Structure 1
Amino acid sequence: MTPTSMTNVAIAASALLLVPIAFQLMLAAGAPWGRAAYGGRVPTTDGQLPLRHRYASLATAAVLLVIGWIVLQRGEVVASSLNPTAVRVACWGFAALFAVNTVGNLAGRHPVERWGMGALTSCLTLLCVLLALG
């Protein structure tokens, strides 16, 4: 893969990551979308997640932000002081994480989780594989 292609793939992956980051931050802030998260299996109050799940959503957003930063390092969009091999291995780990997450999303009860987030995480899986291979 050419350096320009790697850059484009990294930008695409990090841009896609903004969707679940925003979603998780909104859940953490109390948005009434709890049925579209966590497999639809968490009891909600007026659609809001319980406090511990809101904290989990906040932590998830932080982890996704770090993943996005590492992905941008892999595409050489931002400077990196990390070992290039470690960043490549991390991209394989992200691909595995998003693949497992895709399975969980497809098993969700809500159409937004099943089809929206399922499609998004499957795309992230593919993009992270491309970054790992590149």
Structure 2
Amino acid sequence: MPFALALTVVLGLLAVFQLALVLGAPLGRYAWGGQHRVLPARLRIGSAVSILVYAFIAVIAWDRVGAIDVFGEPFSEIAMWVIFAYFVLGIGMNAISRSKLERATMVPVSIVLAALSFLIAMGYGELATAA
């Protein structure tokens, strides 16, 4: 469960960041390619959707480790591998950003998220194995 908790904490921090972007905080250089200081409406919508995606990922992670039972076993197991691939893709996408600030902050965050999702997908931290 510590990996699911760590993943949830990082996703929660990202959700707060995305919410700040939605509300017009001048942090756009850290996200969405870094082309805007304050995000335009279409990217603010993207940030709002990201918050929902982060929440869904957290639910899947907690389901995968057995802390909650929302989805059937095959779904959460496969979904965690898809999430791992999503975060690996995020490493690459953030690494090619034109924004130095985005590269410097989001590449390490994506690496942490990919590592945590890998460990969860592998089944580390499951309640059944911890007992």
Q: Normalising by the residue count of structure 1, what TM-score does the alignment of the two structures yield?
A: 0.85
- The alignment of Structure 1 onto Structure 2 pairs a total of residues equal to 123
Q: Distance in 2 between matches of 1:22 and 1:107?
A: 24
Indicate if the aligned counterparts of 2:30 and 2:106 stay in contact, CA closer than 8 A. Answer: no
In 2 relative to 1, CA 112–19 (structure 1 residues): closer, same or farther, beyond 3 Å?
farther
Match in the other structure for 2:70: 81
Q: Equivalent pairs: percent with the same residue?
A: 31
Point out 4+ residue stretches in structure 1 off by more than 2 angstroms.
109-112
How big is each residue's C-alpha offset from its partner over 1:69-120, in whole Å with a ceiling of 9 and x where there is no partner?
A: 111121223x213111110100000000000011111112334321221111
Once the two structures are superposed, the pairs formed by residues 18-57 of structure 1 within 5 Å of their partners are 18-41=12-35, 44=36, 47-57=37-47
Structure 2: runs of 5 or more not aligned: 124-131
Mapped contact 1:106–1:118 kept (Cα < 8 A): yes
Read off the aligned partner of 1:32 and give its amino acid letter. P
CA RMSD of the aligned region, Å?
1.3
Query: Which blocks of at least 5 consecutive residues in structure 1 are unaligned?
Result: 1-6
- Match of 1:66? 56
* Deviation (angstroms), 1:121: 1.0
Q: 1:56 to 1:74 in 2, by over 3 A?
A: same
Counterpart of 2:90 in structure 1 is 101
Does structure 2 retain, via aligned residues, the 8 Å contact 1:17–1:64?
yes
Structure 2 counterpart of 1:24, which letter? Q
